[in-house]
Homo-oligomer: A and B are copies of this chain.
Amino acid sequence: MELGIISLSDIQTDPATGKPFPYGQRLDEIISYATPADRRGLDVFALGEHHTLEFAVSSPAVVLAAIASRTSHIRLTSGVTVLPVLDPVRVYQDFATVDLISHGRAEITVGRSAFTEPFGIFGADLRDYDALFSEKLGLLLQLRDNDHVTWSGEFRPPLEHAPITPRAQQEPLPVWVGVGGSPESAERAGRLGLPMVLGYIGGPLDHARRAVDIYRAAGDRAGHSGKLCVGISTHFYAGATPEDARKVFPYYHEYLRPKTAGSSLARRSRAGGRCRRRPGAGR
Q: Do the beta carbons of B69 and A163 come within 8 Å of each other?
A: no
Q: Do the beta carbons of A157 and B51 come within 8 Å of each other?
A: no
Q: A61 contacts which chain B residues (CB < 8 A)?
A: 59, 62
Number of copies of this chain in the oligomer?
A: 2
Query: Is the C-beta of A89 less than 8 angstroms from some C-beta in chain B?
Result: yes
Q: Do the beta carbons of A23 and B167 come within 8 Å of each other?
A: yes
What distance in Å separates the Cβ of A50 from its nearest Cβ neighbour in chain B?
7
Knowing A23-B282, A52-B165, A68-B66 are in contact, say whether A59-B101 is a contact too (CB < 8 A). no
A: interface residue count bin? 35 or more
A-B contact pairs, 25 of them (CB 8 A): A22-B282, A22-B283, A23-B100, A23-B283, A24-B103, A24-B169, A24-B282, A24-B283, A27-B97, A27-B166, A31-B101, A53-B165, A55-B166, A56-B165, A57-B97, A58-B166, A63-B101, A66-B66, A66-B69, A69-B70, A87-B87, A87-B122, A89-B121, A121-B162, A121-B164
Query: Is the C-beta of A187 less than 8 angstroms from some C-beta in chain B?
Result: no
Q: Do the beta carbons of A90 and B59 come within 8 Å of each other?
A: yes
> In the complex, what distance in Å separates the CA atom of A25 from the CA atom of B282?
9
Q: A147 contacts which chain B residues (CB < 8 A)?
A: 53
Q: A283 contacts which chain B residues (CB < 8 A)?
A: 20, 22-24
Contact of A69 among B31, B89, B121, B122 (CB under 8 A): B31
Q: Do the beta carbons of A98 and B62 come within 8 Å of each other?
A: yes
Q: A98 contacts which chain B residues (CB < 8 A)?
A: 62
Q: A68 contacts which chain B residues (CB < 8 A)?
A: 66
Residue of B whose beta carbon sits closest to that of A168: B23
Contact of A157 among B22, B123, B169, B282 (CB under 8 A): B123
Query: Is the C-beta of A158 less than 8 angstroms from some C-beta in chain B?
Result: yes
